[in-house]
Structure 1
Amino acid sequence: MIVFDLRCGHGHVFEAWFASSNAYADQRETGQVECPLCGDRRIEKAVMAPQIAAKGNSKPDAPSPQAIRAALEQLAGQQAKMLEKSTWVGTAFADQARAMHEGTAPVAQIHGQASLAEAKALVEEGVPVAPLPFPVVPPKQVN
């Protein structure tokens, strides 16, 4: 079997499988090959990009430990910068996030703690929340 990328007279490109190159030529000559989008039978082979498989025993290069560390430090820095404008609400997070969502509390940037069950309930209710990538030390526990 052989696969060809084909193009009709209207510019539609599609893929078709044939038993051989000769089978394609024979079917094209007899008008058996047509564009599946518009039915045009003016068909030519389109330019194909070859697919060259990677060597079976090769692996993509893994990022270096230094690159991973640098990426994590950058992410932690972004989180710290974001939290500068956010208020720690501790274990009251779920209640306060829900209240803001319902309009019974003013909207503000907050962060705090929520149990897995509380977090799932907030998501199910449509409250816009997201976990932080790094743990946050409560302000009273910071040395």
Structure 2
Amino acid sequence: MISYTLKCDQGHRFDSWFQSAGAYETLRSAGHLACAECGSYGVEKALMAPRVSSAETPEKPDLTAPENETAGKIAKLRRYVEDNADYVGSGFASEARSMYLGATPERAIYGEANAAEARKLIEDGVPVAPLPFLPGKKAN
């Protein structure tokens, strides 16, 4: 696991964990990184100092505890979404559009859409919002 400090094009900074540097690059190039504060997809790595621990007191991060108040709120939102909405995976854009057009019954859903799909949904008036986390179904 690797932790990066990220920043969006609106100036917000936040930390996020990734399985590897390659996983970060894959998510970034696919347009799946969004700002935890404003939802902007203009997210890049910020300049950061390395975390170094001494051999005498090895530092073991507690990955279950939120790092700050915002992270705690995001964790609470994630639990609410996962408990109250259906995960539709990469079919999110088509499922949201189908519900908007009345072809399928409306229900709470979440999943993945790339930036182009999300932009088209918004342009067409389909009510969608980015989530400040990746779906747990895809997390390791």
Q: Which has the higher contact order (CA 8 A, sep 6+)?
A: 2
- Give me the TM-score of the superposition, normalised by structure 2: 0.48
